[in-house]
Amino acid sequence: MSLPRTTVAGDASVSGVGLFTARPATATIRPADDGLHFRRTDLPGSPVIPIRIDNAVELPGLPPGMQARNTTLAAPGAHGMPGAFMATTEHILSALAAAGITDALIDVDGPEIPIADGSARPFAEAIAAAGRRPFAESYDRPRLARAITVTAGPASITATPHDLPTCRLEYRLDYGPGAALAAQSAAIELGENGAPARYLHEVAPARTYCLAAEARAMRAMGLFGHITTREMLVIGDDGRPVDQEWRLPDEPARHKLLDLIGDLYLAGPLPRATIIAHRSGHAMNQAMAREIVRARLH
């Protein structure tokens, strides 16, 4: 089944500050016809960063282990990242994937995509308001030559090929016995045009979160001083949000699903497959994206 290449019909903008850099920025998704790219409009020459897995790097300046908490891309030839990088790309890419947007130029006047409310909803709503414009050209959702599994300790992601013209993704969250946050799961199926309506209501509103112990540790590292518990979802030792309420049932699993979609979009159009992630994070999601590229049938 052929799928239409699609761009946005008009500009779609979201403004705010970066979660890690605390820098203000506006991200504007613009119509394009040559794939997906970020453009750093605040840097001399406005360097362009192609959105693909081989441009994924670690965000500089973070304490050890913190790089795995987001997905950063760097311009080709600038993987030492003197400046030509784009941090925290996963939420905007997730919204683009779910809307079926295959081509866009995303202008950003800062080093990091705005965190907004911690979810993908502002991006999904902006894309919906701008509208979609399909091209005459189409493509087939890629097939995988084989099943793929990546693992690290108790975490894993498995991609199993199927004959349907869809990609089904599921995230299974489990912090183990006695954890404050109960085991939970969330799933979505992306079809010919993604799944914009279902995604907007069931996945996009889910916010990035951390456990209370993680929040205390990150504050001790000097991180996130510009954000309070009313702006970032922190899960207390009782398993409830601090100073907030859940937006969705199983919101943490839904946010992990949101991240999974965005990270895997670095491999290009999501494949005809069932993809099940268990306890994975950005680093493992990126590892699966690399494996999908290797296993894709053209």
Could you tell me where the beta strands, DSSP code E, fall in the chain? 2-8, 12-17, 24-30, 36-40, 48-50, 56-57, 72-74, 85-86, 104-108, 132-140, 143-144, 148-152, 155-161, 167-173, 184-190, 209-211, 233-235, 273-278, 296-297
Please name the residue that has the structure tokens 């702006």. Answer: 231
Rounded CA gap, 199 and 211, in Å? 25
Decide: helix, strand or coil at residue 162. Answer: coil
User: Of residues 37, 201, 282, 298, which has the active-site annotation?
Assistant: 282
Alpha-carbon dihedral sign for residues 266, 267, 269, 270: negative
Contact 108, 39 (CB under 8 A): yes
Rounded CA gap, 157 and 185, in Å? 14
Alpha-carbon dihedral sign for residues 268, 293, 75, 47: negative
User: Catalytic: 282?
Assistant: yes
Between 121-130 and 90-98, two packed helices, what is the crossing angle to 10 degrees? 40
Residues belonging to the active site: 282
